[in-house]
Amino acid sequence: MTVDHSPAWIALNTHADSVRDKHLTEMFAEDTQRFEKFCFSAAHCLTDFSKQRITEDTLQLLIDLAAQQQLPQRIEALFSGEKVNPSENRPALHTALRQPKELPLLVDGNDISTEIHASLERMEVLVDQIHNGQWRGYDGSPIKNVVNIGVGGSDLGPLMTCRALGQFAPEHIRDIEVHFVSSMDGSQLARILNHIDPASTLFIVSSKSFTTIDTLTNANTAREWLVDNSGLPIELISQHHFIAITASPNKAATWGIPEKNQLHFWDWTGGRYSMWSVIGMAIALQTGNENFRQFLAGAHKMDVHFRSAPLGENLPVLLAMIGIWNINFLDIHAHAVLPYDGRLEHVPAYLEQLEMESNGKSVTLQGDKLNYATCPILWGEVGPNAQHAFYQLLHQGTESVMCDFIAPAIRYQDQGEDLQAQHQLALANCLAQSRLLALGDSVLDDADNAPAHKRYRGNQPSTTIMFDTLNPESLGALIAMYEHKVYVQSVIWEINPFDQWGVELGKHVATSLLDQFTEQASSDTDCSTKGLIQYIQRQRKESNDEG
Ligand code: F6P
């Protein structure tokens, strides 16, 4: 029996019939205690679900569904290293990466905690060497620029976190600049290479597989640039200017990065769950080893909460189950993530990968086709800027969209009143928008007299997530909360959140098309693709003839 035919799902469907037509204005009018009832706090985070289209019965039925799907057992399976990723026959142990050293974790008889901390400590030594100026470029210069070359999970997490926590860098490491290069077209790399000095630049090639063409192409270009600028052989350049972070040491060695310049992690760390491993080196370089440890500690706090709190008070569980309610029972398939703090500008892109690469699936763990929706389309933007871009659609478009508003309660405590006032302004806008989305123009006295094009229908559900201040611990907890939310939803939908087979075929097809740019377009290529290849070939020929 699939979950959509189960008793708990059917009960929710029946319940949804009585809630679907209810407006949030009615819900707030009927129950003035909604905030007290639907607001929960743990591990630095406060989550206010009162602007979701739920009642107390909804929550209870959602918890029944979670219990029916044996969620507590599945949470235990995740933490204890069971093979929760069956299509790749492995566990998903990102929670182990942030577990304190003194807690052992036996997987297949090995204490992986010892290995994890040895790897982390080795990373810290390298970070210290770079910060202290002991790591030198080919002419003896200390390192001033670090370029992380990676893509997907080997880029988005470190980039998001560096941008969020950059201000926490202690004074002595501030003269090292950390850059990120991901895109295979070379535009980011070309821009950076134009204004950095080769002798004082270190490249970190971050790739779990060490086969990702995007990353290897950028790394090749970076190495050629160094060889050309230094006049030195590749081996020498690799020793001074390249570090590999990978779960495939042999491939990194074959590419040319010596073992002593490598940091390793494991195949049981999913790419999009890897920034807690040595993939987070860019974060430690940007913010310092101690802040990276705090970041891990924050995530661990959320792990402890997720593993131990009752389902009805468990933040990741509630976030996930209310998402399921919106998607599967209220038919909402768009999800906007709206941070009201510019430091969190890369959180939406990070969550796009986390959520959509994990749960963008349409077959069960057993390979059966699903009859119900899974991951919605998720996108987002820094809230105040999005207000001037796509909020029009949120307020007056035809689509139902669920929103996450994210903001720290306090900011700029030591930076003067003007900036504090700017933060207050952002918070006022955050609260105003979620209020309007929920209640529409009923917040006005005379809305009924307004013309149709000025009306706000409201009833768009949202969750507001707040924390006291943005710091390494609170960010770690926030991100771990989303990771666990994704896992909980996968348990309910009975899908595998830890594989990503849907990205593989494109890589193979691209490789075969690449050959056709120089050769004849293959006869079994579709006419659109063939036409476009011929257009590219013609343009290139004309440009070469002119040159
Ligand atoms: O192609 C998708 C993907 O495999 C992601 O899951 C991953 O985060 C990214 O590519 C990068 O992979 P790697 O770290 O192996 O280079």
pLDDT at 174: 79
The helix (run of H) or strand (run of E) holding residue 246 is: strand 242-246
Q: What is the distance in A from the centroid of ligand 1 to the CA of 153? A: 6
Residue 544 has pLDDT above 90, yes or no: no
Per-residue HEC secondary structure of 469-512 comes to CCCHHHHHHHHHHHHHHHHHHHHHHCCCCCCCHHHHHHHHHHHH
Tokens (6 digits) for 221: 């270009």
So where are the chain's domains? 3-68+309-447+462-495, 103-291, 504-546
Q: Between 112-131 and 289-308, two packed helices, what is the crossing angle to 10 degrees?
A: 150
pLDDT at 110: 85
Pocket of ligand 1 (CB under 6 A): 151-154, 207-209, 212, 215, 271-272, 357, 500, 503
Q: Taking 90 as the threshold, does the pLDDT of residue 339 lie above it?
A: yes
**pLDDT higher than 70, residue 473:** yes
Q: Determine the straight-line distance between the first and last CA of the chain, rounded to whole angstroms.
A: 66
Alpha-carbon distance values, 74 to 215, 285, 362, 481 (Å): 35, 35, 20, 16
In the predicted model, what is the mean pLDDT of residues 328-347? Answer: 98
Q: 3-68+309-447+462-495 and 103-291 share one CATH topology?
A: yes
- CB < 8 Å & 24+ apart, contacts of 414-420: none
Predicted local distance difference test score (pLDDT) of residue 359: 98
* Among protein residues, the one whose CA lies closest to atom 5 of ligand 1: 152
Measured between alpha carbons, how far is residue 288 from residues 7, 42, 225, 471 in Å?
51, 26, 29, 13
Residue-level pLDDT at 515: 83
- The CATH architecture assigned to 3-68+309-447+462-495 reads 3-Layer(aba) Sandwich (3.40)
Tell me, what's the pLDDT at 521?
64
Backbone φ and ψ of 3, nearest 5°? -60, -30
Which whole number is the average pLDDT over 322-330? 98
Task: Determine the pLDDT at residue 251.
Answer: 98
State which of 94, 209, 266 you would mutate to test the pocket of ligand 1, scoring each by most atoms of that ligand within 8 A of its C-beta. 209
pTM of the model: 0.97
- Mutual angle of helices 156-165 and 472-493, in 10-degree steps: 150
Centroid of chain to Cα 89:
23
Reply yes or no on whether the pLDDT at 413 is more than 90.
Answer: yes
Mean pLDDT calculated for residue range 398-419: 96
Q: d(Cα 175, Cα 107) in Å, to the nearest integer?
A: 41
Band of residue 547 on the pLDDT scale cut at 50, 70, 90:
confident
- Sorting pLDDT into bands at 50, 70 and 90, what band is 172? confident
* pLDDT at residue 104, as a whole number: 86
CA dist 292 and 119 (Å) reads: 14
234: left (phi over 0), alpha (psi -120 to 50) or beta: alpha
Topology (CATH) of 103-291:
Rossmann fold (3.40.50)
Rounded to the nearest whole angstrom, what is the distance from the C-alpha of residue 70 to the centroid of ligand 1?
Answer: 30
Question: 380-405 burial string, b = 16+ CB within 10 Å, else e?
Answer: bbbbbebbeebbeebbeeeebbbbbb
Of residues 520 and 460, the one with the higher pLDDT is 460
What integer is the mean pLDDT of 512-535? 84
